[in-house]
Structure 1
Amino acid sequence: MARPQTAPPTLGPSGITAVLGPTNTGKTFYALERMAAHATGMIGLPLRLLAREVYEKMVARRGERAVAMITGEEKIIPPNPSYWVCTVEAMPLEREVSFLAIDEVQLAADPERGRIFTDRILHARGRNETLMLGSDTMAPILKRLIPDISFLGRERFSELTHTGHKKVTRLPRRTAIVAFSAENVYSIAELIRRQRGGAAVVMGALSPRTRNAQAALYNEGEVDYLVATDAIGMGLNMDIDHVAFAQGRKFDGRNARNLYPAEVGQIAGRAGRHVRDGTWGSTAECPPFHEDLIEQVTEHTFEPVTALQWRNPNVRFQSLPALLRSLEESPAIDGLVRARMDDDEDALRRLARRHDIRDMAKGGAALKLLWEVCQVPDFRKVTPDQHAIMLGELYEQLLERGSIRSEWAELQLGRLDNPNGDVDALSNRIAHVRTWTYLSHRSGWLDHAALFQKEARRIEDRLSDVLHEKLTQRFVDRRTSVLLKRLKDDAPLLAGVRNNGEVVVEGEFVGRLLGFQFILDPKAKGPHEKQVRFAALKALQPELMARASALAAAKPEEFRLEDGGMIHWRHGAVAQLVKGPQPLRPDFKFIAMEHMPASAVSAIEERLRGFIADRVEGLAGPLVQLQAALNRPSDSPEALSPGARGVAFRLVENFGAISRRPVADEVKALTQDERAGLRKLGVRFGEYTLHMPALLKPAPAQFLGLLWSLWSEAEPGSFAMPQAGATSVEADEKIPHAFWYAVGYRPSGSRAVRIDMLERLAQEIRQAREKGGREGFEANQRMMSLVGVSGEAFEDILKNLGYKKQTVEREVKVEAPVVADPVAETVEDPAATAARALPEEAAEAPLIEIAGAPADDGGLPHEAQTPEDGNGGGTVEAAEAPAATEPSVTEAAAEPAPAETEAPAAEAPSEPVMETVTLWRYQPPRQNRGGGQQRRGKPGGQDQRADGKRRGGPPKGKGGGKRPPKDKGPRTFSAGPKKKKEADPDSPFAVLANLKKD
């Protein structure tokens, strides 16, 4: 392999040397070495991006004050620079320099730009040395045009090998994929993003700043793939190992054609860097290349260039027709061909058709100005007519005023300062800005040109940065790209967890760490999901160990027990409660602990068991104490008696509450001492339930509901907990009754009533029955307020408790209107005043009218709960419920009496009136043939086990037993005395029953 030559070449008589060879031969590097050896120098390059790269290298050698850069839209000219780095079109040939170089001279054969390169080959010269850099194909034509030129051959530093066709998803890292349309570039880049993490995008339509940023994205290794147009074939130094052609045809501005072998070689030659070998091939929809073309590219043997594009540089400005004729002249030198009509000539011919332009373009200066305006490039890539219209506007202003109106320029430029929109919209705005950048650098065309140059540069840089971000967001998955690269390089990963649980690996967000559970970011899911997850967990190992240590030493307040039995620590769930060996001893299972070592897991397990035990003790303490009393030895002084143990066991089994009816016999068998012992343990003997009041609070009730769900193996959270403070809720028939008892509610018809409220309702009913006597009692607003319902819902509760309604007509006396003495002052009765002050609905409380429903025998009959229901004269257990608030006798006596000075009133005789009222009367359960009470299939009628199943075998029928007779409607009773039934003289029990009724 040949090494780069830095020694001066052997110059011919003209001092011109052609440095020719394939790509990756160091030609541009050699030219810079030679330019640095001269006091002054100039180099013309084919691309602005390459000009920027060479400029930065020369600045590093000689400093910013010594180097200038000129492109079509950018000028950096310090005072008295020694070296000029330019695009070929922008070379200031009027400046004399010691050294001059023209890069990529083979572009002189290009139909679009060839005429400019041809002109520089023929006329651009350095005072002492001139270099022409390019392909070997230029040797014959250069020898013909410049007979005394000398040649310096360069050999490629590395080999270039063809590898055939590969799918896009199977292309190796450090690959450049070449396409020839923006649509194909974007679609391939999107595919690479999904499959390989992302790609950089380089196209000629992008601004130099955006292309530099995208090229840096690839060169710095943030992405391993580059999707580009043939712009990369013009001397860009990219770290490319493989070049893949996604298309084999291109549109050259006029026609779609197959790629020339030399073009394929120029692009494919970008593979390989210095002495590292490169490969090339095809991909996507590009068909495999022909064997002859593959051999030409691999061996760097192409057909020589036989003709260069040329256009007459010596145009004449005597008249518009003379200018057009001079542009049509053919070359007189062999080896040159007249170039096709370019954009500037096309614009001139379009403007020449306008009468106003022809009238203005008379005379040498006006015509020359028109030609200069027509040479403004069409950066916007609009239609030729639209471009000509803008050029006509510019020409009119320049000819009339001598400069472009500042107000118009500011308006046009200000409209472009908008960073919103997609990639295409931003690219279009940048193209418009480039037009104004070009105009601002034309001498004398804009007043305050420096300000416009600065403003245009600011807008273009801003839009270019936003465009770079948009391209990166659209075509680069930084996270996947960085992590895959790190994993492949086996480099240590830097990871961290923010306070909100966000996991950041190598600066990229990859997911969240909730407790010990890593949740991958949904955007990271795809072909590389496993690799990203592996990288994150590998980087999180130190953090997981630190969390394990912190959890093992966590304080109780750091834990939270959420709905469904989830135990949370810090910001995530670490375990979930499951069924344990006993109702009050739930077990747990870990969540996302599979990546923790066994030593750390054992410490966490011990800490969680302690937290669960503390929570059971704190929320279900009375039940825990009751269970502990069951475990005391029988010879202990505080041991429960067998009868009390049976009741206590039933309470523990049913999570602290049970209907009184199933255990009625056991309760009656208890002595007062046994009852007192249970009361000390927190047991309350209610009229309808045996319960523990301390467990009725919202927190314990919710916890017991969770324990019941775990013990009965129901799905945690499948049964909604009653809202805290609700006195009754609608009872879903699908919910087992045992669940309601566990959470402190008793199923009563269509409602579930909180146990303490139900016992208070029982006390209110008992007081009302004492006042109403045998006829029954009337329901009142206080009773309804205790359970939070009225109307049919309240009547359903009463029926479930064993009461039956009946309609009664009774005689009441209605006082006649009182005629007061007109002279005396009227004194109103305070009771009437209070009644008038009540709300209308309270003053006129309607009577309860409901449809018949089967009664429930969930409660014990009132007649059975007398002092004799215990062992020889016990107290009434219902008295333990909180007393209902009633006006005291003292308060009633304190009410003011009518004044003694009240004027006498004349009273009319009263008349008897019959009114209909609804009374409720307890209906005892029917007796079965065996003498015992028949259980009915309603809530409370049978014992409820903790798992929701009934004791004593399956119930009879759908409702669990024989239904009572249906209510056939209200019955009317007269207020008069009832006829007594004659007692059977042979039945002493019947006679005794009639005596009691008397």
Structure 2
Amino acid sequence: MAAHSSGCMGFPLRLLAREVYDRVRAIKGDNAVALITGEERIEPKGARYMCCTVEAMPRDGAGAAFVALDEAQLSADRERGHIFTDRLLNMRGREETMLLGAGTLEPLVRQLVPQAEISERPRFSTLTHIGPRKLSRLPPRSAIVAFSAEQVYAVAEMLRRFRGGAAVVMGALSPETRNKQVALFQNGEVDYIVATDAIGMGLNLDVNHVAFAGLTKFDGVRMRRLLPAEMAQIAGRAGRHQRDGTFGTLSGTNKHGAPPEFTEEEVYAIEEHRFAPLTHLYWREPEPRFDSLATLMADLEAPPGDPALRAAPEAIDLATLKRLAEEPVAADVRRHGAVRRFWEVCSLPDFRQRGPDVHARFVARLWQDLAQGYIGADYVAARISELDNMAGDIDTLQGRIAAIRSWAYICQRPDWVLARDEMASRARAVEAKLSDALHARLTERFVNRRTAILMKSLGQDAGMLPIELSDAGEVSVEGEVLGHVEGLRFTVDPSARHEDRRMLLAAAEKALPRLLGEKAEALASSDMDNIELAGGAIRWNGQELAKLEHRDGTVTPLVKPVREVAALPETARTRLLAALEAWLAKTLEPLAPLEKMHHAASNPDAGSQARALLLNLIAGHGYVTREKAGIEHLPKEMRPFLRKIGVTFGALDIFAPALLKPAPRRLLHALGLDRRALQEAMLPVIADVKKLPSGYRHAGSQAIRIDLAEKVLRAAHETRAKAQAKDRKRKFVLDYALPVSIGLEEANIARLLGNAGFRVQKARPLPEGQFGPPRPDRWEWRPSRRKQERARPAQPREGNAFAALADLVR
């Protein structure tokens, strides 16, 4: 066509017309080429080349020097054949006319167009039948052909689960959606494409194998087996130019019977490209008379005059015309112009495919709207706006696309809609948005790019997998997230389906040792700011790195790495554990007094009584009450030894003051050694609670830290001692300044001192009418009778062997 001064080509599909339009425009320029389809018209002024759908081709060929009809064998199609036949018989170029089609059309072309020159273009590659294959055994770059939307969806869903997904192509999809789905396959994002027999026409695919999920289809009248020529049209998608292809059937998907299989005759016909020639073409009067509706219908149903032609079956446009001609809506359709216009409205394609009744009602409403001459722009804009909704599932979006295609067709008519160009532009924009949304839904449902990438990598060396670990802990392969690493623990992406989780885990684990080893070494070389002790374990950003196993005789526990750390490469594991042990030793420095107690308790020179007390202090994690300490058995000469390692002998408690600070208490709690309640800041006095925090003792309605309680009690004893030294009186006045400054309430001061043997004598109030400062309370120390420091052993009775032994001991 480009070699002629002008040209017009007709294509069976809108997407084919668009594809060739783009190619010719690249050669001749934007202003020289027009695109005319039912839903889109791009007609630059002075355009010399036209790319059209067959239905939209001007019958005179626009006077072009060159005219071509693609897929001319569709003249034998039940639904559209009469249109192709009309173009085949009547459209001619001034210089050249070309009919492109299958060889089965040759006898009829010779009969109907005797002057035609027949040229053959043999297929360079060969097609080979390889028999049935299970879905799991299909080779990559395969197309699976099914003949119902349900079967297409079922096969695509299985491929998503086992092979990462598939592109989906069906006749009900808009051309834009089909192109985008095909692009998924052509770009290699998926290795499989599932389609209806729409794949057999107008789609040039990089396919190596075609698998038939069935060999029968519903042709609009009945279920029938595909003809060998139709099988070859579909199987011929396999192989390109000089690259051979294969075809076969899909087994394992038919639950109710044997899988479909080709006969030997069909295999021979497809492999050798030998098919029965067409015996007739469908025809319908292309130029009916519009004198009346009856005359119009009679002309459309008139039989052809040539034996090579057969009357076309009743198409949807004629069925709609007959249905509406009997209804009141057609009562005023009498004049020639009205009949022509009524026929044009009835010729509206049934994009929605919802049956003749629904389509006839839509056409009737359209005719009523056109009765005034034009459809208002506001009304059309409102209808388009109703469809401008991207929400919904696949079926919902398909329905909206079909509806918007109807309005796009209506807006293309030159005399139907006011502000035609603007409305047509709006309709195309909404269709494009809906097509994008449908493509996204199909991809979301039937394509798992992550699985597809991993399936391609199966069997490869782990080092070859392009798995990456981001700074945020995201593990991905070629941009697809496999999961997240928190600490050194890998978690599969929670959005992954259950059946995909095992594959993702297996893929990640191939590269994780290397990636986690690098991360562990980086951690070992850092300052470990994010490391902490909690719950008897070392944690990094909340994730466990090692559990701590306590040992007798020391406060420093053993570091037991968790499974993820133990699985690291040896070098990284050794470096990380050494770094953790060094960090732990530095962290536990505030517990040095407790470590001294451990060493002293194991010292044989300490004596059994001192060791017993030390063991009680260690068990109490730094403090123990005098009642439980066993201090009555401790020789006084051992007390300096214990004070030297930080032990304080208080009035009520024996404790190590250094271990009552916030840092050591928090450490003991984090190590899991002290399971009592923790007061984080170790405040001097807190409100009493049911569960006494570690390091505190009760003082009435409050609790006071043990070392501060001892400070208060020691001050009371010093005051008592001074009073006795001065006037040898048992009773004395106590200054409350110290306990009040610590935070004790006056009533609770008496409770605390009372525990240590102090008793208060409340001062009598001043007599009525007497003024002056109140009399102070008087205190005295009256400790309860204590047990003797060492219990005197019971004397055995005389005449007993133990009595004689006691005498020897004395």
TM-score, normalised to structure 1, is: 0.67
Is 2:518–2:572's contact at 8 Å kept on the other side of the alignment? no
Alignment of 1:789-868 (within 5 A): none
Deviation at 1:528?
A: 5.9
Q: Counterpart of 1:219? A: 186
Per-residue deviation at 1:248? 2.0
Counterpart of 1:899, as a letter, is G
Determine helix, strand or coil for the equivalent of 1:376: coil
Equivalent residues in 2 for 1:54-65, closer than 5 Å: 54-65=20-31
* 1:81 to 2:47 alignment: yes
Q: Which residue matches 2:778?
A: none
SS in 1 for 2:399: helix
Contact 2:536 2:672 in 1 (8 A): no
- State the SS of the aligned residue for 2:565: coil
- Measured after TM superposition, the shift of residue 292 of structure 1 is 2.1
Aligned to 1:678: 642
- In structure 2, the CA distance between the partners of 1:60 and 1:563, relative to structure 1 (3 Å rule), is farther
Q: 1:238 aligns with which of 205, 210, 231?
A: 205
Report deviation, 1:215: 0.7
**Separation (CA, whole Å) in 1 of partners of 2:219 and 2:553:** 84
Amino acid at match of 1:137: T
C-alpha contact 2:146 2:214 (8 A) present in aligned 1? yes
Match of 1:692 among 629, 649, 656: 656
- How far has the Cα of 1:561 moved from its partner? 2.2
Query: Aligned partners of 1:580, 1:238: CA distance in 2, in Å?
Result: 70
Which secondary structure does the structure 2 equivalent of 1:433 belong to? helix
| Structure 2 residue 519 is the aligned partner of structure 1 residue 547 | yes
Q: Is the 8 A contact 2:284 2:300 kept in 1?
A: yes
Alpha-carbon distance, 1:456 to partner: 0.7
SS in 2 for 1:125: coil
Which letter does structure 1 place at the counterpart of 2:28?
R
- 2:312 corresponds to 1:339: yes
Query: 1:583 touches 1:653 (CA, 8 Å); kept in 2?
Result: no
Q: Aligned AA for 2:634?
A: A
In the TM superposition, residue 259 of structure 1 has moved relative to its aligned partner by 1.6
Look up the equivalent residue of 1:675 and give its one-letter code: R
1:369 match? 341
Are the counterparts in 2 of residues 194 and 526 from structure 1 also a CA contact under 8 Å? no
Q: Given the alignment of the two structures, is residue 156 of structure 1 paired with residue 123 of structure 2, yes or no?
A: yes
In structure 1, what is the Cα distance between the partners aligned to 2:785 and 2:314? 113
Following TM superposition, by how much is the alpha carbon of 1:468 offset from its aligned partner in structure 2, in angstroms?
0.9
Q: Secondary structure at the match of 1:440?
A: helix
Deviation at 1:429, TM superposition (A): 0.8
Q: Displacement, 1:218? A: 0.8
Alignment equivalent of 1:383, drawn from 339, 345, 355: 355
1:589 aligns with 2:560: yes
Whether 2:104 is the aligned partner of 1:133: answer no
Aligned positions of 1:938-953 closer than 5 A: none
Say whether 1:107 aligns with 2:107. Answer: no
Aligned-partner SS, 1:130: strand
CA contact (8 A) 1:757 1:787 kept: no
| Shift in alpha-carbon separation, 1:589–1:51, aligned structure 2, 3 A | farther
- Alignment correspondent of 1:185: 152
Q: What's the secondary structure of 2:67's corresponding residue?
A: strand
Identity, in percent, stands at 42
The alignment status of 1:358 with 2:331, answered yes or no, reads yes
Q: Residue 758 and residue 215 in structure 1: after superposition, are their counterparts in 2 closer, same or farther (change >3 A)?
A: same
Is the CA contact (8 Å cut-off) linking 2:482 and 2:492 kept in structure 1?
yes
Cα 1:588–1:413 shift into 2, 3 Å: same
Residue identity opposite 2:594 in structure 1: L
**How many angstroms does 1:577 deviate by?**
2.5
Pair 1:438 & 2:404 matched: no
Superimposed CA distance per residue, residues 701-732 of structure 1 (whole angstroms, 9 cap, x where no aligned partner): 4543554569xxxxxxxx7856758877778x
Q: Distance in 2 between matches of 1:546 and 1:58?
A: 56
* Aligned residue in 2 for 1:515: 487
State the shift of 1:694 in Å.
4.4
Take 1:896 and 1:923, find their aligned partners in 2: how far apart are those partners? 36
Question: Deviation per CA, 1:137-166, whole angstroms, max 9, x where unpaired?
Answer: 111111111112221122212111112222
TM-score, normalization: structure 2?
0.82
Deviation at 1:174, TM superposition (A): 0.9
Alignment of 1:525-540 (within 5 A): 529=501, 532-533=504-505, 535-536=507-508
Residues 210, 594 of structure 1: alpha-carbon distance in 2 compared, 3 angstrom cutoff: farther
2:264 is the counterpart of 1:291: yes
What code does the residue aligned with 1:437 have? Answer: A
Mapped to 2, the partners of 1:720 and 1:271 lie a distance apart of 75
3-state secondary structure, aligned to 1:432: helix
CA distance in 2, matches of 1:324, 1:524: 59
**Shift, 1:184, TM fit:** 1.6
**Where does residue 33 of structure 2 map in the other structure?**
67
1:560-639 equivalences in 2 (<5 Å): 560-568=532-540, 570=541, 572-580=543-551, 582-591=553-562, 592-593=564-565, 596-618=568-590, 620-629=591-600
Give the drift of 1:36.
Answer: 2.6
Does structure 2 conserve the Cα–Cα contact (< 8 Å) formed by 1:307 and 1:337?
yes
Count the aligned residue pairs. 742
CA shift digits 1:539-591 (9 cap, x unpaired): 667754542332122214231223341421x5744333234575522122334
Shift of 1:466: 1.1
Please say if residues 377 and 417 of structure 2, whose CA atoms lie closer than 8 Å, have aligned partners that are also in contact: yes
Q: How does 1:193-212 map to 2 (within 5 A)?
A: 193-212=160-179
CA contact (8 A) 2:651 2:710 kept: no
Question: Could you tell me how far apart the structure 2 residues matched to 1:46 and 1:255 are?
Answer: 23
1:412 aligns with one of 378, 383, 392: 383
Residue by residue over 1:374-397, the C-alpha shift from the partner in whole angstroms, topping out at 9 and shown as x without a partner, is 011111222322222221222233
> C-alpha distance in 1, partners of 2:696/2:213?
73
Looking at CA atoms only, which structure, 1 or 2, has the larger radius of gyration?
1
Residue in structure 2 matching 1:117, options 84, 90, 106? 84
State the SS of the aligned residue for 2:84.
helix
In structure 2, give the amino acid aligned to 1:363. Answer: R
- Residue 336 of structure 1 and its aligned partner are, at CA, apart by 0.9
Equivalent position amino acid for 2:287 in 1: N
What amino acid is the match of 1:367? V
User: Which stretch of structure 1 is more off in the superposition, 528-537 or 421-430?
Assistant: 528-537
Q: CA deviation at 1:398?
A: 2.1
1:664-698 deviation digits (Å, cap 9, x = unpaired): 2x554231x64355345443445675443544566
Aligned equivalent of 2:769, options 899, 903, 916: 899
Alignment CA distance shift 1:689-1:453 (3 Å) = same
Residues 876-932 of structure 1, C-alpha deviations (whole Å, 9 max, x = no match): xx59xxx99x99x9xx79x8874359xxxxxxxxxxxxxxxxxxx99999xxx9968
What is the Cα deviation at residue 235 of structure 1?
3.1
**1:382–1:531 CA distance, 2 compared to 1 (3 A):** closer
Distance of aligned partners of 1:728 and 1:279 in 2 relative to their CA distance in 1, 3 Å threshold? farther
Cα–Cα, structure 1 residues 558 and 354, in superposed 2: closer, same or farther, change >3 Å? Answer: same
For residues 454 and 342 of structure 1, what CA distance do their matches in structure 2 show? 30
Separation of aligned partners in 2, 1:484 and 1:373:
52
Structure 1: which amino acid aligns with 2:558?
D
Contact map agreement 1:483 1:506 (CA 8 A) in 2: no
Deviation at 1:478, TM superposition (A): 1.4
Q: Quick one: structure 1 residues 309 and 654, their matched pair in 2 at CA, closer, same or farther if it must change by over 3 Å?
A: same
Instruction: List gaps (5 residues or longer) in structure 1.
Output: 1-34, 635-639, 711-718, 732-739, 748-752, 771-781, 789-797, 799-860, 863-877, 902-920, 933-998
Contact 2:68-2:98 within 8 A present in 1 as well: yes
Matched-pair contact (CA < 8 Å) for 2:171–2:196: yes
State the SS of the aligned residue for 1:585. coil
Q: Residues 274 and 670 of structure 1: is their aligned pair in 2 closer, same or farther, counting only changes over 3 Å? A: farther
Tell me which of 618, 623, 634 is aligned to 1:669: 634
User: Aligned letter for 1:445?
Assistant: W
452, 471, 480: which one aligns with 1:481: 452
Structure 1 residues 324-335: aligned runs within 5 Å: 324-335=297-308
- Within 1, Cα distance between the matches of 2:767 and 2:66? 128
- Contact 2:217 / 2:223 at 8 angstroms: preserved in 1? yes
Q: CA deviation at 1:427?
A: 1.0
SS of 1:466 mapped into structure 2: helix
C-alpha displacement of 1:363: 0.7
